[in-house]
Structure 1
Amino acid sequence: MSAQKVAVITGSGDGLGKGIAKRLAKDGFAIVLSDINPDTLKATAAEFQADGVNVASFQGNVAKREDQFALVQHAVDTFGRVDVFVNNAGIEDVMALEDVTEADFDRVFDVNVKSVLFGTQAAAAQMKKQGGGSVYKIINACSIAGHESYDLLGVYCASKHAVRSLTVTAAKELAKHQITVNAYCPGVAATKMWDRIDAEMGKYMNTQPGEAFEKFSAGILMGRPQVPEDVAALVHYLASEDSDYMTGQALLIDGGMVFR
């Protein structure tokens, strides 16, 4: 088994996932990028290669169990191991609860919840095989929406509450195998996801582009929306040996929005 540790990050073609992958590469990990968008994935992989990162990529759908297991197998086939698995991929859906259809609900829960369950299963199975005295890390993308519930984001919030619950349960079940499971909970980030949220909220709130984003970010104590590097710094800690004694936690990284 290679001496270099390996981190797998889903939804890492762009946005927060790409920022997390960059930080873990800087920390010395070999990186396995995963995304459903082939063009974005290809461009990010090329960027990492140009920067000298030991990187591989995998196109897959995180909502499919077989794809999550194939992703882990790809990491093992390429680098021989998996030390950190980041269930980062996720989607949002903006609508009033009375408008939610079965298809809407399933779409959000497939990507935000099933992906975490299947990614955890696949990563844990490999980590158990590796053994060797290391503490392995599964890290999930939760959200401030896993601690609070917001109007027009009801299904999204429910999915993130589910992620928080899965994180705790997995931590309890996997601790005996020296696998920790934690989550990071971002707030309002200046990413393409929030561009979409802003546009959709405008339809309900009769706001102009940027107004909904401004409303949600106005109360951030640190005075600005977050950037991928803010979230990546927390994942850096969760992926490091410094967090070996922490498990089952969903840590807020929101600049001062939600307090627990």
Structure 2
Amino acid sequence: MKIDIDCIARGNVTTRDLTPLSLNAMSNSATRRTVIITGAAEGIGRAIATRLARDGYDLGLFDLPHARDRLEELAESTRTRHGAKVCNVYGDVTVEDDVKRLVETVVQELGGLYAFIANAGIARIGTLHEVPTEEFDKLMNVNVKGVFFSYKYAAIQLIKQGHGGRMIGAASAAGKKGASGWGVYSASKFAVRGLTQSAAMDYGKYGITVNAYAPGFIETPLLEGIDEIYSAKIGKPKGTWTQESSANWNVLRRHGQPDDVANLVSFLVSDNAAFITGQSYSIDGGMHFD
């Protein structure tokens, strides 16, 4: 698959101008850092991109071709509001060559890589015997293989650069405890935790930390889609399941917002998190306690 690319300069500086910048948001860093985010067009990925642009990072944003309008709008917003250099790349995290060329393109256009946020993911619900094999394959391809490819090519680049970095994956509260009707999704997120822990052990010697965020119910388009399915199953209006789940599934009695996850990622990519690796941080309003 040929990847479409749309790289946008910061102000009137070209994408190849690597003049060092002094950024207070980057704890003692003398140069501007670049972060790649997959699944960046909406939901948690979009919030992460906005937050990291505000923190002073340049961005490589990745999503499917049909998300072009949303991704271009996000790129323009982060460039205008936060002065970020942004390189949009379109492709599929389940296609190895797409992810490989994503890293190569962003490095070529923005001058290097500091962190890779493997955020792209999908959800499929249903009791195990009700899940079609093709749905199982699709979910595993996106949620597991997509993270595998992301970690793989981020690691290759970070090792080559030789000055450490960050890799962060999207796990889930369902990756810490299984739930009825969520078996396949839960298995995929347990797998992300395993990849994250093993990668942390493999790459610590290179100064690369590897962590994951494990959200509970976060108000995103993905959650809206799940709500529509579950509310229909119980024969109640759209929104019913979401309201009931927020009242019963965590101690704060509310859903989280994408910015809640973005705030955690902001910390994990910062210099303040340099001694943290191999962890999957719950951000679920108290659904589970580690």
TM-score norm. by structure 1 comes to: 0.95
Determine the structure 1 residue equivalent to 2:197. Answer: 168
Aligned partners of 1:144 and 1:254 also within 8 Å = yes
Which of 245, 251, 257 is equivalent to 1:221?
Answer: 251
Measure the CA separation in 1 of the matches of 2:237 and 2:253: 22
CA drift at 1:68: 0.8
Determine the structure 2 residue equivalent to 1:255. Answer: 285
Q: Please give the per-residue CA displacement for 1:61-105, whole angstroms capped at 9, x wherever unaligned.
A: 011111111111111011111101000000001222111121010
Which of 169, 178, 199 is equivalent to 1:149?
Answer: 178
Measure the CA separation in 2 of the matches of 1:206 and 1:163: 34
User: 1:14-29 maps to which residues of 2 (within 5 A)?
Assistant: 14-29=42-57
Determine the structure 1 residue equivalent to 2:155. Answer: 124
Determine the structure 2 residue equivalent to 1:59. Answer: 90
Determine the structure 2 residue equivalent to 1:71. Answer: 102
Determine the structure 2 residue equivalent to 1:94. Answer: 125
Q: How many residues align?
A: 258
Aligned partners of 1:187 and 1:226 also within 8 Å = yes
Greater Cα shift, 190-199 or 201-210: 201-210
CA drift at 1:217: 1.1
Q: Does 1:191 align with 2:220?
A: yes
Aligned partners of 2:232 and 2:238 also within 8 Å = no
CA drift at 1:31: 0.9
Greater Cα shift, 98-107 or 196-205: 196-205
TM-score norm. by structure 2 comes to: 0.86
Aligned partners of 1:152 and 1:201 also within 8 Å = no
Q: Does 1:109 align with 2:140?
A: yes
Measure the CA separation in 2 of the matches of 1:45 and 1:155: 33
% identical equivalent positions: 38
Give secondary structure in 1 for the equivalent of 2:282: strand
Q: Unaligned 5+ residue runs, structure 2? A: 1-17, 21-30
CA drift at 1:202: 2.4
Q: Which amino acid aligns with 1:195?
A: E
Give secondary structure in 1 for the equivalent of 2:73: helix
Q: Please give the per-residue CA displacement for 1:137-195, whole angstroms capped at 9, x wherever unaligned.
A: 00001010110112222111111011111111111111111111100011111111000
Q: Which amino acid aligns with 1:211?
A: T
Q: Unaligned 5+ residue runs, structure 1? A: none
CA drift at 1:54: 1.8
Aligned partners of 1:143 and 1:185 also within 8 Å = yes
Give secondary structure in 2 for the equivalent of 1:218: helix
Measure the CA separation in 1 of the matches of 2:73 and 2:50: 14
Measure the CA separation in 1 of the matches of 2:158 and 2:234: 47
Q: Does 1:242 align with 2:272?
A: yes
